[in-house]
Structures are given as C-alpha cells and as structure tokens.
C-alpha cells in the first residue's frame, strides 16, 4: 500500500516500501489516466535498466518514476530523458558529489583524466503514443544514494561513497523540482545538459544494433542525438540507437 510521504513537490507522491519496479507501477498509473504522479519505493525487487538489464535497487537508494502527459511529438521525447539526467546530476551536485552526464543519460562521477567514470544514477524512459503525439511518458530514475560500496554493481558508486548520506526526501524534492522546471521549458534542456556533459570533447566508441561509430563527440542536437566526427565524416547517433558508449 502507498504511504504518505510528506513531500512538497510538483507531483503527487505515491510511496511504497518495496515494489517490483516503480516504472511498472507508474506505467499502470499512466494507463489509468494519471498525470504528474511520482511513484517512489525504498527498494525494488525487479528494478529494470535500459536494454533489459537488471538494475540493483537495495534499500537506501532513490528509485522513482514519474508519469507525464506532454504535448509533444515522439521525436522530442528524449528531451525528457535528458532533463531527468540533468535534474539528477544537479541534485547530486548539491549533495556534494561531482556528478556529470555521460551521453545520453547516465549520471556518473569522473575518476581520472582519461574519461574514466563510475555510475551514480541512470534513467529509463518508457512511452506510449501515436506517430505524431505522445500519450504518456514514464521517466524512471535510479540513484545509488545511501547505498554501501560493498553492495554496488561493478563500476558503480553512490552518494554515500563519494560524499555523505543524503536526506532522501530532500534529494527527491530537489530532483523533482529541477525536472519540473526543465520539462516546462524544454528549450533549456540541451544547454543545461551540455554544461554537465562528460562526453563532449571525448573520443568515443558507440555500439549500435548493426554497427559501431568511433570518433570525437562534438555536440548534441536539439533532440539529444550525439554528433560525432568520424574519419569518414560527421555522424549523428540518436539516443535510442546507443547500446553502449565508451571513451577510447
Ligand atoms: C539504466 O541506466 O539502465 C537505467 C536505470 C533506471 C533505473 C530506475 S530505478 C526506478 C525505475 N524503476 C525501474 O525498474 N527502473 C528505473
């Protein structure tokens, strides 16, 4: 059952101790017609990452999914994902962590000068709609907040490990406020994203379903696609096509 969460936020909060996945619950709410609902849980038994990967979600993290009904066409939906990454990075920076964004939407902490990083948070967006109109869009954010280093997956870090434990209620509030500010001003998303980008200026290799792109990441487009200068010219990689990106 949902518990009163006591948060002043631009979303109505539905809080649970434990769920399979907050994205699954938020999708149910979306299908029921809900709008501006944030589903939060202390832990997830079946947290999901991008590309059907598992997402470890022990107690102490921030596992939250937001239901949106934006008046936008599907090609602009990635802006919501980038906005969530920016909002999460900003909240983490306020908590004292040097959070940056690895394209498209991993919130990471740099660990060396060669593009090395550890993952702090991720975003999983799911949507339903027609070709010209988004009906609903669920944006799920997972943040390793007060999570012990020993229980983290490989190449991951937590706010607890990099700074100190956070007041999760305050963290979620900041995250949701920042996200709301950006989703109501979509023109501001890409400039805000650029400021926090770890990927721009790096030489990268991106795996796509059928091939790979190697080159210098120079910019993102107004819909969040990555512009890469390769030996054979300029390529634009959309967020949906990226299976993996690594600095080379
Ligand atoms: C990724 O980096 O692969 C995305 C991870 C997204 C995890 C969050 S946690 C809250 C929401 N519920 C889920 O099952 N997944 C997202």
pLDDT at 1 over 60: no
Domain containing 74 equals 12-196
Domain identity same for 210 and 143 = no
Assign 114 a pLDDT band (cuts: 50, 70, 90).
confident
Question: End of a domain among 154, 176, 196?
Answer: 196
Structure tokens at 162: 């990099």
Position 4 pLDDT exceeds 70 = no
Q: Is residue 6 part of a domain?
A: no
Stretch 156-167: mean pLDDT: 96
Does the residue 5 lie in any domain?
no
Check which CATH number belongs to the domain holding 177 and give it. 3.30.930.10
Tell me what the mean pLDDT of segment 182-209 comes to. 96
Give the Å distance between the CA of 145 and the centre of ligand 1: 14
Same domain, 183 and 209: no
Residues 179 and 114 occupy one common structural domain: yes
In which band, very low, low, confident or very high, does the pLDDT at 3 lie, cut at 50, 70 and 90? low
In a domain, 67, yes or no: yes
- 47 CB less than 6 Å from ligand 1? yes
In a domain? residue 1: no
- CATH code (residue 238): 2.30.30.100
pTM for this one?
A: 0.96
Residue 191 resides in a domain: yes
Tell me, yes or no, whether 154 and 184 share the same domain: yes
Q: Is the predicted ipTM greater than 0.90, yes or no?
A: yes
Q: Structurally, how many domains does the chain consist of?
A: 2
Q: Is 157 a pocket residue for ligand 1 (Cβ < 6 Å)?
A: no
Report yes or no on 3 lying in a domain.
no
Assess whether 212 and 187 both reside in one domain.
no
- What single string gives the DSSP state of each residue in 87-140? HHHHHHHHTT---EEETTTEEEEE-SSSS-EEEEEEEEEEEEE-SS-EEEEEEE
88 lines ligand 1 (CB under 6 A): no
- Probe residue for ligand 1, chosen from 21, 26, 30, 55 as the CB with the greatest number of ligand atoms within 8 Å: 55
**Where do we find the tokens 């290799």?**
205
Q: Is 140 in the pocket of ligand 1 (CB under 6 A)?
A: yes
219 and 173 in one domain? no
| 31 part of a folded domain | yes
157 & 51 share domain: yes
229 C-alpha to ligand 1 centroid (Å): 30
Judge whether 185 lies within some domain.
Answer: yes
Mean pLDDT of 132-143: 96
**What does the pLDDT average to over 197-221?**
96
- Give the tens place of pLDDT for each residue, 50-88: 988 999 999 999 999 999 999 999 999 999 999 999 999
Residue 115 has pLDDT above 90, yes or no: no
Q: Are residues 163 and 225 in the same domain?
A: no
Q: Is the CB of 48 under 6 A from ligand 1?
A: yes
Q: Note the pLDDT of residue 2.
A: 60
Distance 110 CA to ligand 1 centre (A): 21
Region 103-126: mean pLDDT is: 94
Question: Which of 9-13, 89-93, 94-98, 149-153 has the lowest average pLDDT?
Answer: 9-13
Which helix (H) or strand (E) segment holds residue 160: the answer is helix 159-162
Whether residue 133 has its Cβ less than 6 Å from ligand 1: no
Q: Are 7 and 64 in contact (CB under 8 A)?
A: no
Residue 123 beta carbon below 6 angstroms from any ligand 1 atom: yes
């Amino acid at each position: 059952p949902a518990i009163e969460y006591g948060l002043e936020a631009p979303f109505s909060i539905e809080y649970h101790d434990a769920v399979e996945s907050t994205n699954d619950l938020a999708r149910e709410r979306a299908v029921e017609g809900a709008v501006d609902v944030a589903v939060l849980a202390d832990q997830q038994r079946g947290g999901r990452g991008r590309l059907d990967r598992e997402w470890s979600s022990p107690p102490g993290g921030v596992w939250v999914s937001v239901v949106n009904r934006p008046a936008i066409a599907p090609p602009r939906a990635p802006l919501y994902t980038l906005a969530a990454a920016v909002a999460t990075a900003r909240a983490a920076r306020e908590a004292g962590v040097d959070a940056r964004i690895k394209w498209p939407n991993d919130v990471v902490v740099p660990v060396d000068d060669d593009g090395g990083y550890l993952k702090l948070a991720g975003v999983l967006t799911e949507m339903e709609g027609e070709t010209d109109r988004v009906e609903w869009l669920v944006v799920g954010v997972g943040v390793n907040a007060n999570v012990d280093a020993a229980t983290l997956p490989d190449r991951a870090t937590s706010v607890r490990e990099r700074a100190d434990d956070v007041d999760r209620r305050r963290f979620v509030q900041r995250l949701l406020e920042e996200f709301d500010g950006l989703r109501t001003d979509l023109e501001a998303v890409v400039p805000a994203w650029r400021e926090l980008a770890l990927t721009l200026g790096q030489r990268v290799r991106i795996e796509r379903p059928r091939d790979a792109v190697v080159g210098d990441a120079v910019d993102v487009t107004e819909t969040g696609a990555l512009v890469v200068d390769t030996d054979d010219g300029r390529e634009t990689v959309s967020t949906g096509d990226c299976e993996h990106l690594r600095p080379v």
